[in-house]
Structure 1
């Protein structure tokens, strides 16, 4: 029973290590020694165990080699991607944490915010003074670039930089402010400071774009002469720490800070008014004297006119009540001088009939709306609320 148990153990062990080709031969060899002395059988078992250990060690080495090869290939691909400086940013610069690159590629293809070269030269900083005089005319500029200073995002200066700064004799600075993100790609002039003239050298204009995440990319061009080099404003390091809901601002272009953008609150506009008396014949503009609601103060009781306070989609309603037989009563809604909707009643027998009309439209700020009584008779009293005019802002627009 001892020999049988050992043989079974060896068989299972050999299968566990993946040596399926030797399983049957091992079993036959051990069982062929069934009639041999116990010492001989034990020696044979130990020999087979050592053989299996060697096979296990060989397989382990092969597995380690494959793992290292896979890891090396992975890091080689990663380093090659960094070396080409074609960077694709995820959650830090975008609203989504998980991006479907198959869908995003078509949108991002050609967008310099996702395809640029990192330009991280410490000597370009506005605080840098070196004996070497660099010249960007000797560089073969290609495509778009993003400025860094020791791994931190930075921007070009928007002010004149002292001579012999930025590792060159005539530092190049951006004339005009950086664009906003909605501006897209813009062209900006470049000037070089020399001999107390901030624009002694007028270099070839460059293109600039603001990207999501409060950073800029530049399409640099070779300067007109040497020694000129593009500067990186050390004061704008703070801008790289601004959050998505913040903008980087400065009054003197030296001291920068992150300013939280104010959310534009939607304007609320609602009004409801009534005319508590009778109307007859032509009334060019009904002055609804009883105002019950006037949120936003866009309706004036003294004139009966509503004036749109913002651009947006508005909805209006107006009503009348008549009790005259065979007499047509018309009320018209007038927008910027145009009669656009009518509330009309006509009855053939003695009774009282009311009419309510509604109208929805887009209005620009300053548009004027009122109601005119064109014909007939309308009646109301202080409690009836039968001649009314009201409206609301449904959606504010730019």
Structure 2
């Protein structure tokens, strides 16, 4: 053993001095593995195996990190495409939570906003990004959503990009299944909230051969939809993701995704409804005596919005909103009472009254403000007395304006 130790020391010394030079082959022979005891060789093998395991674990961790970076990059691109709605998305496992737009920031900070966010599926859903669900995908192995344990709400993605269910019949053997499931009704508008829609499965040239269990759908701010899926009625049926609706994920807040054939989709800018202007002013150039059920004001000076009809003397509200009316009369009879009434939908609501105790001339003007629905009818009736006007005067008048238009 002393000789072996000396030989080992000599071998180490010669290698430390310079391995590039001439090396004593006898000294190197002492370090061959097969010349070592069995215990030493086993220890070396175990150490090598442990080293390989460490390297394998390191490689797996690096692969997982790369996959997470790719997923994060895809989700970041999705957030950028829907940045117009000001949403901030947070990924936790397979769930993505949206915290609302800047327009709703004040509402969400309030206690009512927090409670609304907790119960709103637009803020709590599961990302369903499975390429085999695309309408252009055909796979050898058929999938069945009846075996899936559906829980809560889901948002469809295709390679990290937002997508929607098809609203048209999908050919058989697409979407990775035998009978593709499509939405037989249109997607809802955002003001409709959560709606229930029927689902159909295509089979044997019948677009709705399978009437599957209905699902719930909601449109969220940012032009995307969330779905509350239910297990289909049988196999093999699976929910589809329409590849043609990829363009919808790029629509801005002031745009909506539209299509005539449910195949070619485009982003259409929403037109703001301008407030309608309604003003009218008319007069009666003559005399009125006694009872006149409806005064036909034949001299129309203003009629913006075309709400007043000179042939009937009736104003018909073109839109819903708040209106203000005025009507006047002129009388010159002593001791005679003269009344004009404003009539709305057959109800007498306001009066223009004059009563002259002695011989003179007097006029009376009355105003009235009210809320009217579209199509409401307004006119003036001469209930009693005597009113007068000439072709050049405007003493018997009727007019009105729309103050505030209601949606």
TM-score of the aligned structures, taking structure 2 as reference length: 0.74
- Is the 1:325–1:348 Cα contact (8 Å) retained in structure 2? yes
Q: 140, 157, 160: which one pairs with 2:166? A: 157
Q: 1:123-162 to 2 correspondence within 5 Å?
A: 123-162=132-171
Alpha-carbon shift at residue 355 of structure 1 (Å): 0.9
Q: Could you tell me how far 1:181 is from its partner in structure 2?
A: 1.3
Deviations 1:212-247 (A, max 9, x none): 111110001112222221110000001111112221
1:97, distance to aligned residue in structure 2 (A): 6.4
CA 1:312–1:98: 2 relative to 1, 3 Å: closer
Q: Over residues 48-88 of structure 1, what are the superposed CA-to-partner deviations in whole Å (9 max), with x where a residue is unaligned?
A: xxxxxxxxxxxxxxxxxxxxxxxxxxx9xx99952151402
1:87 counterpart SS class = strand
The answer to whether the 8 Å contact 2:189/2:219 transfers is yes
The answer as to whether partners of 2:89 and 2:96 remain within 8 angstroms in 1 is no
Q: Distance in 1 between matches of 2:93 and 2:109?
A: 21
State the distance in 1 between where 2:371 and 2:160 align: 50
The 1:105/1:96 distance shift into structure 2, 3 A limit, reads closer
Q: Distance in 1 between matches of 2:136 and 2:266?
A: 19
Give distance in 1, aligned partners of 2:208 and 2:89.
41
Check if 1:190 corresponds to 2:199.
yes
The alignment's C-alpha RMSD in Å is 2.2
How many pairs does the alignment contain?
320
Note the C-alpha offset of 1:384. Answer: 3.1
Matched, 1:330 2:339: yes
Counterpart CA distance in 2 for 1:201 and 1:335 is 54
> Mapping of 1:195-274 within 5 angstroms?
195-274=204-283
Distance 1:368 1:197 in 2: 51
Q: Deviations over 1:133-162 (max 9, x none)?
A: 222122211000000001110001111211
CA contact (8 A) 2:89 2:98 kept: no
Per the alignment, residue 307 of structure 1 pairs with 316
Q: Are the counterparts in 2 of residues 90 and 99 from structure 1 also a CA contact under 8 Å?
A: no
Name the residue aligned to 1:21.
Answer: none
Structure 2 partner of 1:95: 103
Deviation per residue, 1:15-72 (Å, 9 max, x gap): xxxxxxxxxxxxxxxxxxxxxxxxxxxxxxxxxxxxxxxxxxxxxxxxxxxxxxxxxx
Corresponding position of 1:83: 93
Structure 1 residue 117 and structure 2 residue 115: aligned?
no
| Structure 1 residue 383, shift from structure 2 partner | 3.3
C-alpha displacement at 1:96, in angstroms?
A: 4.8
Residues 213 and 232, structure 2, Cα contact 8 Å, conserved in 1: yes
Note the C-alpha offset of 1:343.
Answer: 0.5
Secondary structure of 1:109's match? helix
Contact 2:90-2:97 at 8 Å conserved across structures: no
Higher mean C-alpha deviation, range 97-106 or range 252-261: 97-106
* Residues 52-63 of structure 1 aligned to structure 2 (within 5 Å): none
CA distance in structure 2 between the partners assigned to 1:192 and 1:270 by the alignment: 55
Counterpart contact for 1:90–1:98, Cα < 8 Å: no
Residues 136 and 223 in structure 1, CA contact (< 8 A), matched pair in contact too:
yes
- The question of whether the paired residues in 2 share the 8 Å contact of 1:314 and 1:395 is answered with yes
Residue 376 of structure 1 and its aligned partner are, at CA, apart by: 1.2
Alpha carbons 1:325, 1:347 under 8 Å: kept: yes
- The normalised TM-score by structure 1 is 0.75
